Chain A
């Protein structure tokens, strides 16, 4: 019965798509887009979102954002093409029509996950040992494989390939865990309350401090995946607000500050060495960074320089505890 229903829905959606294409031949292009979005794309996306929700799966924010663009056909098309890739219309239609059996719903959920993985590859690559470009390549292969997987054995083979990819992108050895992340996040949020005045002014600081307290408390009581997903959404919204209120930073001033800091740090470390106190190579590292700070830098080199400085300061703070 489920199979018949799925086939019937697929045929209906595909027929509607074809009819709309024929009808659209005489209509202006934006009218075609409006008709397609209203009658096929948006209902298909809603079906997929309902399916994800019923499975307790996270709904990628890009999907809900895309749905919110229904009234702006050009933007909707551009975002859909960039998010789902070529052939997104057919894929959405096919996926929406095949969520009726648990096995197919799982494959659709996996494809939505893979699409989100590709869309967030740059951000994930900042923590993962795999580069963004490579993540996108892996995802493309897996998407193709998932679409071709029809039998149980083919699906099993697909999931084995997914497992291999997961182990590379999210390694267990030396990887980031939820526990470590939440611990660090709570610690950072707690301390950020005291430092928020450095970032923003007056009223914004007070209201943001209240939100920080709430976020910190909620982070302590996270016990499941859905709570975690909800917390991430709140944290992301908070971070967005904080960044929008943040005082502008001047890279030239930062570089001047960094040079002065390094100069004083280096002099201090030399003092320590002259008095027989081991500095664990920090004197040489600070000298090298100071030399780098005095060379011309492009934006990318500046980022590398700041990251090196941050890393050096972090290791010094670990070697010379403040308390």
Chain B
């Protein structure tokens, strides 16, 4: 299965989620504004922190990926094979 490649884990977006959906939840009310009883306050600092750290790690991994991808492209150009197929295609079209 193909892994998600785009940068999908911006933790700050998650903080956006926390600040809307979960602030709503923290109000301990339902959609009609009726108070729910006995709902403990939601603490998300540790979770947010964990997501942020995961995203820093992900950015670092992606940096390694990009660096190798770019150097690979350069080597193919220097090795004279980067646009070989395009060249062959245009020749056959002619």
Question: CB within 8 A of B65: which of A123, A242, A246, A249?
Answer: A123
Task: Bin chain B's interface residue count.
Answer: 35 or more
Question: CB within 8 A of A117: which of B6, B52, B68, B78?
Answer: B68
Pairwise interchain contact B52-A199, C-beta atoms closer than 8 A: yes
Pairwise interchain contact A314-B8, C-beta atoms closer than 8 A: yes
Pairwise interchain contact B56-A239, C-beta atoms closer than 8 A: yes
B71 to chain A, nearest CB (A): 5
Q: Is the interface of A mostly helix, strand, loop or mixed?
A: helix
B 15-51 contacts with A by CB, 8 A: 15-17, 19-22, 24-26, 30-31, 39-40, 42-51
Q: Write out, one digit per residue, whether chain B residues 48-61 have a CB within 8 A of any chain A CB (1) or not (0).
A: 11111111111111
Task: Bin chain A's interface residue count.
Answer: 35 or more
Pairwise interchain contact A163-B81, C-beta atoms closer than 8 A: yes
Complex Cα gap A298–B46 (Å)? 19
Selected interface stretch from A17-25, A63-71, A74-82, A177-185: A177-185
A223 touches B (CB below 8 Å): no
Complex Cα gap A184–B51 (Å)? 15
B72 to chain A, nearest CB (A): 5
A182 to chain B, nearest CB (A): 9
Pairwise interchain contact B65-A124, C-beta atoms closer than 8 A: yes
A126 touches B (CB below 8 Å): yes
Complex Cα gap A275–B33 (Å)? 13
Pairwise interchain contact B31-A275, C-beta atoms closer than 8 A: yes
Pairwise interchain contact B65-A317, C-beta atoms closer than 8 A: no
Q: Write out, one digit per residue, whether chain A residues 186-201 have a CB within 8 A of any chain B CB (1) or not (0).
A: 0110011011001100
Question: Are A159 and B67 also in contact (CB < 8 A) when A195-B15, A246-B49 are?
Answer: no
Q: Which residues of B contact A120 (CB under 8 A)?
A: 64, 68
A280 touches B (CB below 8 Å): no
Q: Which residues of B contact A155 (CB under 8 A)?
A: 79
Q: Which residues of B contact A199 (CB under 8 A)?
A: 49, 52-53
A261 touches B (CB below 8 Å): yes
Question: CB within 8 A of A235: which of B52, B57, B63?
Answer: B63
Apart from A156-B79, A194-B12, list 17 A-B contacts with CB within 8 A: A113-B72, A117-B68, A124-B61, A126-B61, A128-B5, A162-B79, A163-B76, A174-B5, A176-B62, A176-B69, A178-B70, A228-B66, A232-B67, A239-B56, A243-B57, A257-B46, A267-B25
Residues on B facing A (Cβ under 8 Å): 2-17, 19-22, 24-26, 30-31, 39-40, 42-76, 78-82, 84
The 7 closest A-B pairs by CB, nearest first: A159-B79, A184-B7, A264-B25, A191-B12, A170-B69, A127-B65, A322-B16
